[in-house]
Amino acid sequence: MKKTSAIPLSLSVLFLAWLPGAGRKAAMREQTPGEYLNARPGVAYVGDEVCRDCHESQYNDFKKTGMGNSLSVPGPTNWPEFTKPVTLFSKKLGLSYSVSVSGGKMYHTESKRRADGKLEYSERHEVAYTVGSGDLGRSYLVAKEDALFVSPISYYKGIRGWDLSPGHEAGQFRSFTRSAGNLCVSCHSGVFRPTAGTRNRYQDPPFPFLAVSCERCHGPGELHVRERRENAPLRGPIDLSIVNPARLPQHLRDEVCIQCHLGGDARVLQPGKTYLDFRPGTPLGNVVAILTAPVAAKFDLIKALSHPEQMEMSRCLIESNGRLGCITCHDPHVQLRGAEAAAYFRRKCLTCHTVQSCSLSSTRRQATSPPDNCIRCHMPKKSVVNIGHTALTDHRILRIASQSPPQVAAAPESPEDLIYHTRRAQERDAPPDLRTQAMAYYEVSQVYPAFRQRGFALLEQAARELPDDPEVQAAYGLVLLLARPQSPAEAAQALQKAIDSGSPSVEVRTRLARIRLREGKVAAARQLYNEAVEADPYYTPAYFGLAHLQSMTGDVPSSIETLERILKYDPGNEEARTALADAKESPR
């Protein structure tokens, strides 16, 4: 948030502005990314309650924004969406859902009845966390021991009611089995604490600081708080103990927002990095490369977490030579609504445009509601393809809302090239390295088949040149299972390399176990299945594989026990229920 110092911030800004040319250049040199001392590893997060001591006004305003309410514990202040028990029936899935409050806690229940009306199963969970501010809606997380899962139902403001959560209506996820995932909880929380080497397990508590807070944009506050409390002298005309995004170079400024607001079609973490390693003021590409498919591959679809990508298509950004950024128009500390928001953004538009440049008459402009609303004409809300009942502002800033953008600022050289949005410090003008390209194409090709051929070639090259990279070898082995199913030994070699290089992947172990079992290596397969189950107690494919192994080796009681473990955490799993019934009927 905004900072106080021995020299008031307003005076330090004026001081910088009035420096002679040489002095101003020297001061700006002091603002290079490495000079923000809190951007260095090891500086601790302190939480926004500490920031509140000196910045109460900004704190209070921010707590009214969507970001300031991005994650919370369910309670009377954030469950106005219902005042009595809610029931929902999905004809498509044949499942019933209910939402209820008991003893000051929220519960979600999924159940299914047979054709004769008898209850087949019922699964009830206490909601541990509310995700989202409610501006568009809310989703919910439930806890199963140290793991977090997304509830299959969400509240949507657009319909003022409940429906299946994103992905559940398409069958991509089911019941209470969708892992929250590190990216999900990272972007909705202030700080989160994953268990190293796992995909969905967390320390207790998982969120020392719940909602997005000051430090997500300004960086860890430990150093700044200590120096300001000690009234330490500034190191220059501005306070370098805390990042001020407005003073960062353009690409670093925007990457503070991009870290969460650009999902991308591919996110490739750098070797040994996690999302916790990013610090505002440093290149986001040092931690994660974010790439997207060219617009032509997407058929002009608007997706959630694509605003920065849309902005890159806008004439406003292109002609500003990058000066236009997220915080040019958005003040992250406040969130305006209705007529107040329309007037605010109109003033922003008029810093570059004139009233005379608008082709509409004053009468027509005044007829909008709110009147003279630039955003309504040039940035209308459009339906989002990956979240139901939701519309978001189109950030392409089109002169005519129905037209196509004139060009793409970061256009690829060919339709088969991906657009590279984040780069490491040493590659500002260079293409992504082989590893990044290979992993990105592998991820993108799972959604856009047009990229598969080039993606496979890159991944094959990366597998040869990077034999000890666990992520590359894992991806290569998984692709080989599909591309060359007649040669499982080749895939097994890559999957084994991934494990030997330190891959914690439960999918890699499960896929390799299947190959080992077909090779007759029962002991090796059993060990791999057990490793997968131990690493992720909710990874169902590993349980099915282990149950099959136990059954084929004559250990039917163990197979039954393994299948019952699935139904214990996923009672709605019909495949497990059928397999269990068959196992109980088989001779022992």
DSSP-assigned states of every residue in 431-468:
PPPHHHHHHHHHHHTTT-GGGHHHHHHHHHHHHHH-TT
Output DSSP code: residue 39. Answer: G
226 and 113 fall within a common domain: no
65 and 83 fall within a common domain: no
The answer to whether residue 517 sits within a structural domain is yes
Per-residue pLDDT, 255: 96
Radius of gyration of the chain (CA): 26
101 and 155 fall within a common domain: yes
Per-residue pLDDT, 432: 87
The answer to whether residue 266 sits within a structural domain is no
The answer to whether residue 359 sits within a structural domain is no
93 and 172 fall within a common domain: yes
Q: Is the peptide bond before 205 cis (omega within 30 degrees of 0)?
A: yes
438 and 540 fall within a common domain: yes
The answer to whether residue 572 sits within a structural domain is yes
Enumerate the β-bridge partners of residue 201.
147
Here the tokens at position 384 are: 């989002």
> Which domain-ending residue is among 247, 263, 291?
247
136 and 18 fall within a common domain: no
**How many structural domains are present in the chain?**
3
Per-residue pLDDT, 406: 55
What b-and-e string marks burial along 142-156, b requiring 16 or more CB atoms within 10 Å of the CB? Answer: bbbeebbbbbbbbbb
Output DSSP code: residue 262. Answer: B
Here the tokens at position 520 are: 């007759």
138 and 217 fall within a common domain: no
60 and 83 fall within a common domain: no
Q: Which structural domain, as residue segments, surrounds residue 3?
A: 1-69+212-247
Per-residue pLDDT, 586: 79
- Which CATH number characterizes residue 553's domain? 1.25.40.10
102 and 232 fall within a common domain: no
Consecutive 10-residue runs of the chain (588 residues): their mean pLDDT? 32 30 35 73 95 96 96 83 81 94 92 96 97 93 97 94 92 94 89 93 95 97 97 92 95 95 95 95 95 74 86 91 92 94 95 92 89 92 88 91 59 73 79 94 94 96 98 98 94 98 98 98 98 97 98 97 98 97 86
Per-residue pLDDT, 78: 75
440 and 579 fall within a common domain: yes
152 and 242 fall within a common domain: no
The answer to whether residue 55 sits within a structural domain is yes
The answer to whether residue 377 sits within a structural domain is no
562 and 479 fall within a common domain: yes
Helix (H) or strand (E) holding 470: helix 470-483
The answer to whether residue 239 sits within a structural domain is yes
Per-residue pLDDT, 82: 64
The answer to whether residue 294 sits within a structural domain is no
